[in-house]
Amino acid sequence: MAIMNKVGGLFALFSLAFFAQGAWAAGAPIGDPVAGQEKSAVCQGCHGGTGNSESAEFPRLAGQYAGYIVKQIKDFKSGVRANNETMAGMAATVETVQDMKDIASYFSQQAMVKEPLAKVNKKLADKGEEIFKNGRPEKDLYACINCHGERGKGKSPTVSVFPVIGGQHRDYIIKELKDFQAGTRANDPGAMMSEIAKKLSADEVEAVAEYLSQQLP
C-alpha cells in the first residue's frame, strides 16, 4: 500500500506537469481532414495512405489523436524531439500550424488495420498485458493502463497528451521506449515516460511492446 501511495503521488505530480505544459491539446480545434489528405501526401510515403504504415520503422498514425500528432510535428520542427532525423526534416516542410492540424485530423479519422505486421508471441504478450495493466509495484512502476486506457486505446481525444499506443508496431514501441530510457527522446511533458521507461527491463520492454502490437480492431 505504501508503494502504491508513493506511485500515485508521483502520478499526481506528473499529471499536473502534463496538463500545465500540454493543456492546449484538450481544446485544440480540429483541422480539415479533406485538406489534410492532400497536405499529408508527403507523409504517406512512410506512414501509408491511411496512416497504416507497412514498415515497423514508421509508426501507425491511423486513429491517433489529432492533438498528439500536432504536438509531435511541432516538437520535431522545433528540435524538442530529436530522435528521428528523417521526421525532423519532414516536419520542417510543414509550414503552418493549420497545416499540422489538417494533416493530424486526416490521420486521426482513418481506421487502423486489423492485423499486426509480425506474428504475435502469445506467452510474451501475456506477460506484457500483466505489466500494462498492473505495473510493477515493487519497483514503483506505474501501470500503463492508467494513462493510455484499456488496450492502449487512449483515454479521450480531449486528453491527447496520452496517445493511442494499442495496435502500434512492436518494433516501433521498443525503439521509442529505448529512446526514452537513453534520453534521446525527451519531449514527454513532466518527463513521465522517461521515468517509467527507465524502470522497465529489456525483457519487460519487449513484453509490453508485444502485447500492445496485437491490440488492433
Q: Which residue in the block uniquely carries the three cell numbers 490521420? A: 107
Segment among 29-38, 107-116, 194-203 with least mean pLDDT:
29-38
How many Å apart are CA 18 and CA 39, to the nearest integer? 29
Taking each helix axis as running N to C, give the angle between helix 122-134 and helix 202-213, from 0 to 180 degrees, rounded to the nearest 10.
Answer: 100
**For residue 125, pLDDT beyond 80:** yes
Model pLDDT, residue 30: 84
**For residue 45, pLDDT beyond 80:** yes
The DSSP annotation for 20-87 comes to HHHGGGGGPPP--HHHHHHHTHHHHHHH-TTS--SSTTS---TT--HHHHHHHHHHHHHTS--S-HHH
Q: In sequence order, which ranges of 48-190 are alpha helices (DSSP H)?
A: 66-78, 85-91, 97-108, 122-134, 145-148, 170-182
Q: Looking at the domain that runs over 2-22+115-213, which CATH code has it been given?
A: 1.10.760.10
> What does the pLDDT average to over 199-213?
98
Model pLDDT, residue 37: 98
Q: Which CATH architecture has domain 27-108?
A: Orthogonal Bundle (1.10)
Q: Enter the C-alpha cell of residue 160.
A: 491527447
**For residue 2, pLDDT beyond 80:** no
Q: Which residue in the block uniquely carries the three cell numbers 500503463? A: 144
pTM of the model: 0.88
Q: Enter the C-alpha cell of residue 31.
A: 483541422
> What does the pLDDT average to over 92-118?
96
Report the sign of the C-alpha dihedral through residues 118, 61, 63, 8, in that order. positive
With a pLDDT cut of 90, the percent of the chain lying above it is 84
> What is the average pLDDT value for the chain, to the nearest integer?
90
pLDDT in tens, 137-171: 999 999 999 999 999 999 998 889 999 999 999 99
Q: Where in the chain is the domain with CATH 1.10.760.10?
A: 2-22+115-213, 27-108
pLDDT in tens, 12-30: 544 544 444 444 443 445 8
